Amino acid sequence: MNRLRPVWTLLLGLLITLLLFTVASAQTESDGAFRVDRLNALIFMALFSIVILIYTRWAKSGKKLFIRKINGLDEVEEAVGRATEMGKPVLFIPGLQEIDEIETIAAISILGRVAKITARYDTPLMVPVRYPMVMAAGQEVVEQAYIEEGKPDAYNKDIVRYVAGEQFAFTATVNGIMMRDRPATNIFMGAFFAESLLLAETGNAAGSIQIAGTAQPSQLPFFIAACDYTLMGEELYAASAYLSHEPLLLGGLKGQDWMKIILVLSILIGTILLSFGVGDWFYDLYKSV
Amino acid sequence: MIVLAYILLILAGAFLLYMTFRTNDRRYIYLAVAFYVIFPVVLTMQLPIDISPESQQLYDAIAALPDSSAVMLTFDYYASTLAETEPMSRAVLHHMFKKNCRVVTMTTIPLGGPSISERVTRDLAEEYGKEYGVDYVNLGYKANYVAVLKGMGSSIKAIYPADNSGTPLDEIPLMAEIKNYDDLDFICVIADNGVVEYWMSIVNAQYGIKIGSGVTAVMAPKIYAYVGSGQMTGLLGGMKGAADYEKLVGKPDAAIKGMAAQSLVHLFIIFAVIVGNVIYIVERRRGKGRV
Amino acid sequence: MRTTVPVIIAFLSGFVMILAFFFNPEKSFIGRLEPEVLAWVTIVGGFTLLLGVVSIVRVNFTAVKRRKENWPYKLATLISIFAMAIPAILPSSWSPLLGTGTGSIYDWLFNYLDAPMMSTMFAMLAFYIASAAFRAFRARNAEATLLLVTATLVMLWRVPMGEAFLKSIHGDLPQYINTYIMGGANLAVQRGIIIGAAMGAAAMSLRIMLGIERTYMGK
C-alpha cells in the first residue's frame, strides 16, 4: 500500500491548496471563479476525507477494528452452498443502474466475492445486466474471481450477460429466468426501482433463497417483505469491507461512523437552537447561499 | 343493482381468500385483485375525495401565480406509469391553461417521453384554444439530464436549439421571452423516477426557482422529505394526488374514476391481512396449547 | 500496472468532478470540465452499447442454433431486436415508415406493443403487493405488530373509502396520520436512511478514488 502514499499526499495537498485559495481570494460574492456559497460543502468534504484517511492509516498500522454482524452478508456463503447442494444456479442482479452509480459499483464488488464462492464450489452463476458497461465490469470481476480460485476454464463470458436496456423488459427476462431455470439462490444488490417487488416476489414464488441490498429507501419495504435477508442503505456499501475483512476497507467504515456522529450532533444542536429561536446562524452554516 | 353487485364482489373476495388459505396458492389473491380492479371500471362509482394538504399546496402555488406567468411542466415518466402520472400532467396542465400561463414542456425520458408530452399538450391546448409557439412550447427530449438541468440555467436555447418537432427556438415567439430559469415563475415536475431529486438539488437549490411535483405512490414517502423541509412547493402522491388535483380544477377524469378500484383493492388487502393474522394467532395459540 | 493505471484514471476523473463542483463554469476552466467528463461518459457508454448487442445476440443465437430448451423464446427475442432496431436506424428520407418519427414502424411498435407491455409489467405490482403484504404482515412480535397497524392506517388513509371510515372514528384521524405517520415517523426514517446511504456512498467513492477499494476491479 506504500505505493498509494503519494496519492493520499496529493489529495490532502490539493485540498489544503483549495482551502488556502479560498481564504486568499477572500471573495464576498458568489459569482467569482470559486463558489464561495459551497465553502461549507468543501470544509465538510475535507473533514470527511481526513477522518477516513486517519482511520485507514490506523487500520494499516494493525489496530483492530470492530464491525457489527450483518446477517444478510453472513448468509451469502450459506445461500451459495445451498445452491451447490441442490445443483441449481445462483442468480445475481447488480441493480438496474449504470456503472457510474456508486450502488452499482458496490454491487460489482459483492459480485466478485460471490463469484469466488461459486467458482470454488463449481456452482453455476447467472448475472443478467441492464447496461453494457455494467456487463463489461461484471465480466472482468467474475473472470478474475475464477482465475484466483484456479478455475479459469470454468469461466464463461456469458455468465454476465446483457439482457435488455428497458426496465420492464429486463424484469420480464429475469422473471422468465427465475421461473424456467429455478435458481436456488437470488441475490439482488444495487439500485432497484419499481421492479424490486416484481423480481423478489417471483423469486419467492419460485422457492429461491433471496438476499437483497439497496440504498433506495422506497424499495426497501418490498425487499424486506419478499426476501429472506435485506441489506439496508449503507450496509450495501459496507459489504465489500465486511466480506473481505480487509483492514484498510474496515478503516473507511470507522471513519464514516465518526462523521455520522458529527452529523447527528449537528442535527441535535440545530434542533435545540432553532427550537429556542436562536439558531438562524447555525442553520445558515449548512445552507447554500 | 350496484349495491347487489358489490355485495357479490365482497363474497367473491371472501371465497377467493378462503381458497388461498386452503390451497396456499397465491394466484387466488391475484384473481381477487383482478376482480376488484376491473369491477369498478365497469360499474362506475363516484367517491367523495378529501384533498391532501400537499395537493392543496401545489394548487395554491399555481393559483397564486399572476395571469400569463411563464411556467414549465415536465413529463419525466415512462409509458409504464401512465395510469398514475398522466392524470397528474393533465390536471396540472388544465390549471395552467385556465390561468392563461405560458407553458414550456420538456422530458428527460427518451423512450416515449416526447410523444406523451406532445399528445397531452396538444389535446388540452385544443380544448382551451391555445396556440403553439405563443401560449405553449414542447421542447422534447435531450440526453444526459444532469447536463440538461444545469445547462438550462444559463440558456435553454443552448440545450434545446430546436423544439420537439425540429423548429428552431429562434422562430418560436414564446421562447424569445424565456431564456433561462430566471424567466420562469414555477416548475411542476411530474416524474416516476429519481430525476425529481435532481430537479430539487440542481434547479431548486442552485437557481432558487419554486418547484412542485407529482410522483408515483411508491416514490411519494421519499419525496415527502422535500415538502416537509419546505424546499418543495406541493406534491401529488400517486393516483390519489392526481384525483385531488382533478377535483381542485373541477375536471374529474381517470384518477377520480380509479379511486374506486384503488379503494376496493386497499380494503381487500387490509381484510386479507386481518384474516391472515387472526388465523396466525389462533394457530399459534393452538400450537402453544399442544406444547 | 494492470490496476495502477485504472486507479490513477479513477482518481483523476473523480477529482476533476469534485473540483468542478466548487468552481463557476462561466468563470473558470475547472468549472467547465464537469460537462466535458460527463460527455465522455456518454461517449464511452455509446461504444459499449455494441458490446451489449453482441452479447444478447450471441447468447440467444447459440441457444437457437443448438435447439436448447425454450429456444423459441430466444428466437422471439432475436426477431424483436431486429424488428425494432433496423427500421429505426434506416433514414426516414427513404420512407416515412423508417426512422423514429410519428407514423414510423418504430413509433407504431412503441405505441402499440412496447408501451402496453411496459404498463402491464408495472400493473402487475398491484397483484404482487397484495400477495407480499398478505404474507409479510404478521403480528409476530411488537415491532411487526406496529408495522402492521401503521401499514393498515396508511392504506386506509390513502383511499376515499378508507378515509371516510377513519373519519367516522374520529374526524381528525386522517389529518393525524398525515402529520404524525407520513410527516413524522416516515420522514425521520427516510432521512436517516438517506443520510446513512449518502455517507456510505461518499466513503466508498473516496476509497475508490484513493485505490483502497479495488474489489470492483476483481481485486
The band of B291, judged by pLDDT with boundaries at 50, 70 and 90, is: very low
Q: Which fold has domain B53-251?
A: Rossmann fold (3.40.50)
- Determine, for residues A218 and B219 on separate chains, whether the beta-carbon distance falls below 8 Å: yes
Contacts of C143 (CB under 8 A, 6+ apart): none
Structure confidence by residue, pLDDT tens digits, B168-183: 999 999 999 999 999 9
HSE-CB of C169 using CA atoms within 13 angstroms:
11
Residue-wise pLDDT for A107-143, tens only, equals 999 999 999 999 999 999 999 999 998 999 999 999 9
Cell (9 digits) for A36: 464561495
Q: Which chains touch B (3 or more CB pairs under 8 A)?
A: A, C
Residues of chain C with pLDDT > 70: what percent?
98
Locate cell 453494457: which residue? A132
Give mean pLDDT, residues B36-43: 84
Q: Is B19 on the interface with C (CB under 8 A)?
A: no
How far apart are the CA of A256 and the nearest CA of chain C, in angstroms?
A: 7
Which percentage of chain A shows pLDDT scores above 70? Answer: 89
Among B151, B155, B123, B118, residue whose Cα is nearest residue B137: B118
CB contact C194 to B (< 8 Å): yes
Residues of A in contact with B224 (CB under 8 A): none
Same domain, A136 and A42: no
Chain A residue with Cα closest to C133: A225
Who wins on pLDDT, B80 or A244?
Answer: B80
Q: Does B266 touch chain C (CB under 8 A)?
A: yes
Range in A22-26, A90-94, B242-246 the model is least confident about: A22-26
Nearest CA in chain C to B256: C160
Chain B interface includes A9 (CB < 8 A): no
The residue in chain A having the minimum alpha-carbon distance to the alpha carbon of residue C22 is A35
Q: For residue A252, what pLDDT band results from cuts at 50, 70 and 90?
A: confident
In contact, B94 and B58? CB cutoff 8 Å: no
Q: Measured at the alpha carbon of residue B242, what is the angle toward residues C177 and B46, in degrees to the nearest 5?
A: 85
Structure confidence at residue A30 (pLDDT):
52
Query: What residues have CB less than 8 Å from B277, skipping those under 6 apart?
Result: C137, C138, C139, C148
Size of interface A-C (CB pairs under 8 A): 213
| Residues A266 and A124 reside in one and the same domain | no
Please check whether residues A42 and A123 belong to one and the same domain. no
Neighbours of A, requiring at least 3 CB pairs below 8 Å, are: B, C
Q: So what's the pLDDT on residue C75?
A: 95
Which residues in chain B are closer than 8 Å to C172, comparing Cβ atoms? none
Q: Which of A34, A168, A225 sits opposite C136 (nearest CB)?
A: A225
Q: Check if C23 contacts B (Cβ < 8 Å).
A: no
Per-residue confidence (pLDDT) for residue B288, from 0 to 100: 62
* Residue C193 forms contact with B (CB below 8 Å): no
Mean pLDDT of the region C38-60: 84
Residue A65 banded pLDDT, cuts 50, 70, 90? confident
Looking at the structure, tell me whether residues A76 and A44 fall in a common domain: no
Question: Do C24 and A144 lie within an 8 Å CB cutoff?
Answer: no
- Measured in angstroms, the CA of B135 and the nearest CA of chain C are apart by 23
Mean pLDDT of chain A, nearest integer: 86
- Given A209, A226, A243, the domain boundary residue is A243
Q: Does B261 contact C at CB distance below 8 Å?
A: no
Which strands, in side-by-side order, build the sheet including B70-76? B136-141, B102-107, B70-76, B186-191, B211-215, B235-237
Q: What percent of chain C is predicted at pLDDT more than 90?
A: 25
Domain count, chain A: 2
Q: Which of C42, C118, C158 sits opposite B143 (nearest CB)?
A: C42
Cβ(C126)–Cβ(B265) below 8 Å? yes
Q: How far apart are CA A215 and CA A218, in angstroms?
A: 9
Residues A113 and A53 grouped into a single domain: no
Interchain contact B228–C (C-beta under 8 A)? yes
Alpha-carbon Rg for chain C, nearest whole angstrom, is 26
Same-domain status, A162 and A185: yes
- List, for residues B82-92, the tens digit of each pLDDT value: 989 999 999 99
Amino acid sitting at position A40 = N
Residue in chain A nearest B192 by alpha carbon? A194
- DSSP codes, B18-50: HHHHHH--THHHHHHHHHHHHHHHHS------P
ipTM of the complex: 0.84
Dump the DSSP string for B113-181: HHHHHHHHHHHHHHHHT--BTTTEEEEEE-S-HHHHHHHHHH-HHHH-SB-TTS-BGGG-HHHHH--SG
pLDDT given for residue B54 in this prediction: 94
Put simply, the answer to whether B218 touches A288 (Cβ < 8 Å) is: no
- Distance CA(A68)–CA(A61), nearest Å, equals 21
3-state secondary structure of A185: strand
- Per residue in A76-108, pLDDT (tens digit) is 889 999 999 999 999 999 999 988 888 999 999
Instruction: Kindly state whether residues A95 and A205 are assigned to the same domain.
Output: yes
What does the block give as the cell for A216?
433506495
Domain span at residue A54?
A: 2-64+246-285
Size of interface B-C (CB pairs under 8 A): 139
Confidence band, pLDDT 50/70/90 cuts, at residue A5? low
What's the CA gap between B132 and B112, in Å, rounded?
21
For residues A93 and A147, state if they share a domain: yes
State the pLDDT at residue C65: 94
pLDDT tens readout for residues B157-169: 988 999 988 899 9
**Cβ-based contacts of A140 with chain C (< 8 Å):** 217-218
Same domain, A79 and A182: yes
Q: Are residues A150 and A216 in the same domain?
A: yes
What is chain A's Cα-based Rg?
A: 22
The amino acid that residue B214 corresponds to is: G
Q: Is B180 on the interface with A (CB under 8 A)?
A: no
Output the pLDDT for position A12: 67
Residue A121 is predicted with a pLDDT of 92
CB pairs under 8 A between A and B: 20
pLDDT-based confidence at residue C213 (cuts at 50, 70, 90): confident
Shortest CA distance from A191: residue in chain B = B194
Please state whether beta strands A209-214 and A125-129 pair in parallel, antiparallel, or not at all (unpaired).
Answer: unpaired
Q: Residue C207: which of A32, A169, A249 has the nearest Cβ?
A: A249
Nearest beta carbon to residue B193 from set A166, A193, A219: A193
Q: Is C51's CB within 8 Å of A103's CB?
A: no
Which CATH number characterizes residue A205's domain?
Answer: 3.40.50
How far away is chain C from the Cα of B242, in angstroms, using its nearest Cα? 12
Residues A223 and A154 in one domain: yes
At C25 the pLDDT is: 76
Say yes or no: B81 contacts chain A, CB-CB below 8 A. Answer: yes
pLDDT tens profile A36-63: 878 888 888 888 888 888 888 888 887 7
Q: Do residues A236 and A251 share a domain?
A: no
Nearest CA in chain B to C160: B49
Nearest-CA distance C8 → chain B (Å): 25
Q: Would you list the DSSP string of A110-174? A: HHHHHHHHHHHHT--EEEEESSHHHHHHHHHHHHHHHHHTT-GGG--GGGEEE--SSHHHHHHHH
Q: Which residues of B touch A288 (CB under 8 A)?
A: 205-206
pLDDT digits (tens, 9 = 90+) for C120-161: 999 998 899 898 888 888 888 888 899 899 999 999 998 888
Residue A175 · residue A208 · CB < 8 Å = no
